[in-house]
Amino acid sequence: MVTATYSKEEILEILSAIADPEIPVVSIQEIGMLRDVVVSEDGYEVLLTPTYTGCPAMGIIEADIKAMLLEKGITPVKVTLTYSPAWSTDWMSDEAKEKMRKYGIAPPAHSSCGSIFKTEQEVVCPHCSCQDTEMISRFGATACKALYKCNSCKEPFEYFKCH
Amino acid sequence: MAKQDALFKYTLRLGDNALILSQRLSEWCSYAPLIEEDLALTNLSLDMIGRAQALLKYAGEIEGMGKTEDTLAFRRSERQYYNNLLVEQPNGDFAFTMARQLFISAFELYFYSEMEHSKDKTLAAIAAKTLKEVKYHLEHAKDWVIRLGDGTGESHYRIQHAVNELWMYTGELFEMDDVDKELIDQGIATDLDAIRPLWNKYIGDVLETATLIVPENSYMQTGSRKGIHTEHLGHLLCEMQYLQRAYPDAKW
């Protein structure tokens, strides 16, 4: 039986402080991974969706959520992974995209991939805002990013892939 | 065949394909010809281990015997694995790995495009997620096959050799048995006859652009639907399962 009661909104508010471990300038809420909280007699269930199926940050995020809620005496907490609807970069707020750009990562360029054969176009350099950039590799240091370089300022940078 | 039994076997197959190819690709870690490829191949591997985890977890739930994704991955022997023979083939050289990837990713693209509309909600959700990832895998493999085929004499020879060697494992991708038929009737499984022409067309176009010859459809190796594998799977499992076999229930 749960003694202290918190509303769904209160829990979401608390959890909005948790940063994405890979891109610490944005929160798990801003990036769209934090989907919902279900409050019931059995406790609190936090619904998370992974950005990529193999996202290695999920374990850390789950531990962060439990630790943060435990600290406030909120128990028991269950974290459930949900795959539907599939995570999309469309859920990312403009504010989050701007934070990402300032951090040096080019945010997703266009709205979610309509055609499955569609390729990325016009990735803008996060350093000098030049549009003359080229892809070095489709895959980067994390599953969600690709490697690019700017032909104007010559800086290499990461691009958060449209998904 | 009972629906639950069919669904368990079907989900297990899909999970096994992702798991075994993930393990194969991870063998490239620190051995790839360039650092970008090291990242790319391990990224592919990571996507597939995630997919395997989701599918095997679901398979365990369907079976209802209390098996987790880890039990299914580490406590089954070779004959209890149902992955396609194609994905267990050794990496060979880089061309070999890319030809294998082109064949399987093109298959997965069409397969999961259909599965996205499955009446089984869990499979449909995993398919929707997988599809986004497979798109990148396929583009990557396609670019390399074209680049190698239309490259130097040596690279052309190697990729043509890889295509020829692997061709006999492609027929099995489209094999269907009672499990498939049962689940197609229920709107759950993908009809492989329907995606075969799409795969043939796509692969034909890519190989043509790469100035490569599409091999003749002669002998096709088969067996995985019954758990019969090439000798390579046993060796792969030895390495993958070693720790859990030697120290059962060891925790990280």
DSSP string, A85-152: SPP-GGGS-HHHHHHHHHHTEEPP-SSS-SSTT-----PPPTTT--S-EEEEES--SSTTEEEEEETT
- Of A35 and A4, the one with more pLDDT: A35
Distance CA B34, CA B62 (A): 42
Confidence category of residue A114, pLDDT binned at 50, 70, 90: very low
User: How many whole angstroms separate alpha carbon B142 and alpha carbon B101?
Assistant: 9
pLDDT band for A119, please (50, 70, 90 cuts). Answer: low
* Average pLDDT per 10 consecutive residues for chain B, totaling 252 residues: 92 98 97 93 96 97 96 97 98 98 98 97 95 94 97 98 98 97 97 98 98 95 97 97 93 80
Nearest to A53 among B124, B129, B139 (CB): B129
Residue A52 has a pLDDT of 86
How big, in percent rounded to 5, are the helix, strand and coil portions of chain A? 20, 25, 55
Q: How many CB pairs under 8 A join A and B?
A: 75
Residue of B25, B28, B46, B119 for testing the chain A interface, max A β-carbons within 10 Å: B46
Cα–Cα distance for residue pair B104/A46, rounded to 1 Å: 35
Q: Which helix (H) or strand (E) holds A48?
A: strand A43-48
Residues of chain B neighbouring A54 (CB-CB closer than 8 A): 46-51, 53
pLDDT of residue A113: 54
What's the rounded Cα separation, in Å, for the pair A136 and A105? 15
From the list A56, A117, A137, which residue is nearest B36 (CB)?
A137
Q: ipTM of this model?
A: 0.81
Task: Please enumerate residues of B whose Cβ is less than 8 A from a Cβ of A.
Answer: 36, 39-40, 43-44, 46-51, 53-54, 109, 113, 121-122, 124-126, 128-133, 135-136, 139-140
Q: What is the pLDDT of residue A142?
A: 85
Chain B residue numbers touching A136 (CB-CB < 8 A): 36
User: What is the token pair recorded at B26?
Assistant: 């991870």
The residue type at B146: I
Higher pLDDT, A12 or A119: A12
Residues of A in contact with B144 (CB under 8 A): none
Distance, in angstroms, between B102 CA and closest chain A CA? 14
Query: Would you call B125 and A84 a contact, using CB atoms and an 8 Å cutoff?
Result: yes
**B188: which 2 tokens?**
């759950």
Q: Is the pLDDT of residue A109 over 90?
A: no
Plot region of B228 (φ>0 → left; ψ -120 to 50 → alpha; else → beta): beta
Q: Is A54 in contact with B139 (Cβ distance < 8 A)?
A: no
B129 and A56: CB-CB below 8 Å? Answer: no
Give the whole-angstrom CA distance, residue B44 versus residue B134. 9
Across the interface, of B39, B124, B132, the residue whose CB is closest to A137 is B39
Q: What is the dihedral of CA B185, B135, B155, B231, to 10 degrees?
A: -40
In a mutational test of the A interface, the residue from B53, B136, B137 whose CB has the highest number of chain A CBs within 10 Å is B136
Sign of CA dihedral B178, B184, B189, B195: positive
Q: Which residues of A touch B (CB under 8 A)?
A: 50, 52-56, 82-87, 113, 116-117, 119, 136-141, 143, 147, 161, 163
- Measured at the CA of B69, the angle between CA B67 and CA B70, to 5 degrees, comes to 90
Three-state secondary-structure class, residue A35: strand
A86, pLDDT greater than 90: no
- Reference B24, options B6, B5, B49, B50; nearest CA is B49
Which pLDDT belongs to residue B178?
Answer: 96
Peptide bond into A85 cis (omega under 30): yes
Predicted TM-score of the model (pTM) = 0.91
Of A84, A117, A141, the CB nearest to B128: A84
Q: Indicate yes or no: CB of B113 within 8 angstroms of CB of A116.
A: yes
The 10 Å CB-count burial string (b at 16+, else e) for A143-162 is bbbbbbebeeeeeebbbbbb
User: Is the confidence at residue A49, as pLDDT, over 60?
Assistant: yes
| Residue to substitute from A89, A134, A139, interface B, most B β-carbons within 10 A | A139
SS3 B113: helix
**CA B222/CA B243 separation, integer angstroms:** 30
**C-alpha distance from A87 to closest chain B C-alpha (Å):** 8
CA–CA gap between residue A20 and residue A51 (Å, rounded): 11
* Minimum-distance CB partner of B36 among A117, A136, A143: A136
**Phi, psi (5° rounding) for residue A137?**
-155, 140
- HSE of B56, CA atoms in CB hemisphere, 13 A: 26
Average per-residue pLDDT in chain A? 87
What is the least distance, in Å, from the CA of B136 to any CA of chain A? 7
Residue of A nearest to B36 (CA): A137
